[in-house]
């Protein structure tokens, strides 16, 4: 049996901290359903300790130069890369994602963020604005204590994508992982401190939604960055608004992926597989509404079915496995519920459709064809390995249908017509768009959603604007002219 028990449940003020008064949180390995660690939810005393440490640590951190801050973040990136295998195994235990994926997509992506924002830390400056003899200068200041709240699908990556820009800008952070995946963020905190981070600058507290809610409403907190579902986003955004806090909201999606008849079919099928079955479909930006132009529908579905034979379900720690379980029994049941709705509402089941006959929370890669726009599986985020394929005739028609959703996280198009590709992307109501590929999220590029899918952007230089505030200083060089 796997054992992944951490040193303690929380990481506060540079050290592991335990408080067994907190309600237990059982961490379950999704491939077996067995408990691999038991942690404790943060009590009010733990939450207070973390926020006090973050408040004090932020002052010390912000007083350092950007070069000094950046050096520590880059050192942490190096340590993460050196320990990639160990961290990837932990990510696999925490989430059930295959080691084949976690070795290249999780700790490495966290390291990229620390390296990128470590590099930017020394470059953050204000502006000089000349006004005749007078002049204005601006100071780019940190916000203060930032709270990060994570979803369960990418626990290491989310802890770094929030922590790296926050810290680069001179903020401190209290991060609350999802209760489903409590392990990885603790390692991020440990490594940041090993790299030289002053105590209190990056803290991790465990807990369910209520712990997140008490962090969000605390007056010491200046900003909240949430990765989660739209309903949670609405609650957290509203709670943050009460005290006019800054927010970044990375929320859910129901993104369209349009395949025109002139597309390279194999490439489009690869995009659809990547955009529906990577991480067993538990990816926010997935292109779960695949619109295929009528003339190539049969060829697309035939090739897709052939390619699904390549899915290897098995022990996620075996590097030959390329398709893992759902993160939890709850999520598995939610997804199975959607699959039943798909069948009940008249979609054609092309592949999969049930649990795999093995231990753990595995669901077969599932494809529905002949899906219509009003079906539940066409409208709601499923967050599992369920692809819905729709037919379309014209570009005008498909654009209207693609945008007919409250979500706006991502969108993709496969076509070999250059002008059509750019025209379609210009028409998408989505924050992150793809032409002839899908689901790549390099740290250099802004990532985030429009409409109900979110507010603000993570990654890239854009993230700096969301973790700093600009102070304007007007400098007069002549006497003041008053009206009387």
Residue 229 has, within 13 A of its CA and on its CB side, a CA count of 10
Taking the C-alpha atoms of residue 216 and residue 147, their distance in angstroms, rounded to an integer, is: 7
Query: What is the signed CA dihedral for 28, 29, 34, 39, rounded to 10 degrees?
Result: -30
| CB closer to ligand NDP, 55 vs 235 | 235
Q: Which residues bind ligand NDP (CB under 6 A)?
A: 149-153, 176, 178-180, 208-209, 212-213, 216, 227-229, 232, 235-236, 250-253, 284, 381, 383, 409, 449, 454
- Tokens at residue 90, please? 């932990």
Task: List the catalytic residue out of 115, 169, 284, 364.
Answer: 284
Q: How far is the CB of 181 from ligand NDP (least distance, A)?
A: 8
| CB closer to ligand NDP, 174 vs 216 | 216
| CB closer to ligand NDP, 29 vs 383 | 383
Q: How far is the CB of 206 from ligand NDP (least distance, A)?
A: 8
By the 8 A CB rule, do 421 and 436 touch? Answer: yes
Task: List the catalytic residue out of 97, 162, 223, 254.
Answer: 162
Verify whether residue 429 is a known catalytic residue.
no
Q: How far is the CB of 200 from ligand NDP (least distance, A)?
A: 22
Verify whether residue 433 is a known catalytic residue.
no
Q: How far is the CB of 361 from ligand NDP (least distance, A)?
A: 14
Q: How far is the CB of 95 from ligand NDP (least distance, A)?
A: 11
Q: How far is the CB of 177 from ligand NDP (least distance, A)?
A: 6
Question: Residue with CB nearest ligand NDP?
Answer: 212
Verify whether residue 162 is a known catalytic residue.
yes
For residue 289, give the 3-state DSSP assignment: strand
Taking the C-alpha atoms of residue 274 and residue 430, their distance in angstroms, rounded to an integer, is: 19
Strand 410-414 relative to strand 256-259, pairing: parallel
Please report which helix (H) or strand (E) contains residue 94, including its range. Answer: helix 84-95
| CB closer to ligand NDP, 13 vs 248 | 248
- Backbone torsion region of residue 12, taken as left when φ is above 0, otherwise alpha when ψ lies between -120 and 50, otherwise beta: beta
- Tokens at residue 262, please? 């002139």
| β-bridge partners, 355 | 363
Task: List the catalytic residue out of 41, 250, 364, 381.
Answer: 250
| CB closer to ligand NDP, 93 vs 301 | 93
| CB closer to ligand NDP, 108 vs 178 | 178
- Tokens at residue 127, please? 């502006």
For residue 484, give the 3-state DSSP assignment: coil
For residue 286, give the 3-state DSSP assignment: coil
Q: What angle do CA 8, 13, 14 make, to 5 degrees?
A: 70
Q: E strands along 251-378, which residues? A: 256-259, 289-293, 348-351, 366-369
The DSSP result for 65-82, as a single string, is -HHHHHHHHHHHHHHHHH
Verify whether residue 458 is a known catalytic residue.
yes
For residue 44, give the 3-state DSSP assignment: helix
Q: How far is the CB of 106 from ligand NDP (least distance, A)?
A: 13
| CB closer to ligand NDP, 269 vs 363 | 363
- Tell me, rounded to whole angstroms, the distance of Cα 21 from its chain centroid: 31
By annotation, the residues acting in catalysis are: 162, 250, 284, 458
């Amino acid at each position: 049996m796997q054992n992944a028990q951490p040193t303690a449940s929380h990481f506060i003020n540079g050290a592991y901290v335990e408080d067994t008064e907190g309600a237990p949180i059982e961490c379950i390995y999704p491939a077996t359903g067995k408990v691999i660690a038991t942690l404790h939810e943060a009590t009010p005393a733990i939450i207070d300790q973390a926020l006090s440490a973050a408040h004090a640590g932020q002052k010390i951190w912000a007083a350092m130069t950007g070069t000094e801050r950046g050096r520590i973040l880059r050192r942490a990136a190096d340590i993460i890369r050196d320990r990639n295998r160990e961290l990837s195994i932990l990510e696999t235990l925490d989430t059930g994602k295959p080691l084949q994926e976690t070795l290249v997509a999780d700790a490495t992506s966290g390291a990229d963020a620390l390296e990128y924002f470590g590099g930017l830390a020394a470059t953050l400056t204000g502006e000089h604005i000349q006004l005749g003899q007078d002049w204005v200068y601006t100071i780019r200041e940190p916000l203060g204590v930032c709270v990060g709240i994570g979803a369960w699908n990418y626990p290491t990556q989310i802890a770094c994508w929030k922590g790296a820009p926050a810290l680069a800008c001179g903020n401190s952070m209290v991060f609350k992982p999802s209760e489903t995946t409590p392990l990885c963020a603790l390692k991020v905190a440990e490594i940041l401190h090993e790299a030289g981070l002053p105590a209190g600058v990056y803290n991790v507290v465990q807990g369910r939604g209520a712990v997140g809610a008490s962090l969000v409403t605390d007056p010491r907190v200046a900003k909240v960055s949430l990765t989660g579902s739209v309903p949670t986003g609405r609650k957290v955004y509203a709670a943050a608004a009460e005290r006019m806090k800054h927010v970044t909201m990375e929320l859910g999606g129901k993104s369209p992926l349009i395949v025109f008849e002139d597309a390279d079919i194999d490439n489009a099928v690869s995009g659809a597989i990547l955009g529906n079955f990577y991480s067993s479909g538990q990816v926010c930006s997935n292109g779960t509404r695949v619109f295929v132009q009528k003339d190539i529908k049969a060829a697309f579905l035939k090739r897709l079915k052939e390619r699904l034979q390549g899915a290897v379900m098995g022990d996620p720690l075996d590097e030959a496995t390329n398709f893992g379980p759902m993160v939890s029994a709850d999520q598995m049941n939610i997804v199975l519920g959607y699959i039943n709705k798909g069948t009940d509402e008249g979609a054609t089941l092309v592949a999969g459709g049930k649990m795999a006959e093995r231990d753990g929370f595995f669901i077969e890669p599932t494809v529905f064809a002949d899906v219509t726009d009003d079906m539940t599986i066409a409208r709601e985020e499923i967050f599992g390995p369920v692809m819905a394929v729709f037919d379309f005739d014209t570009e005008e028609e498909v654009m209207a249908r693609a945008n007919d959703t409250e979500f706006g996280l991502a969108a993709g198009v496969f076509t070999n017509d250059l002008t059509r590709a750019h025209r379609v992307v210009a028409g998408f109501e989505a924050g992150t768009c793809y032409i002839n590929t899908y689901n790549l999220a390099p740290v250099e590029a802004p990532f985030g959603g429009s409409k109900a899918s979110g507010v603000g952007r993570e990654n890239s230089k854009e993230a700096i604007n969301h973790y700093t505030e600009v102070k304007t200083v007007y400098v007069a060089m002549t006497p003041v002219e008053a009206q009387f």
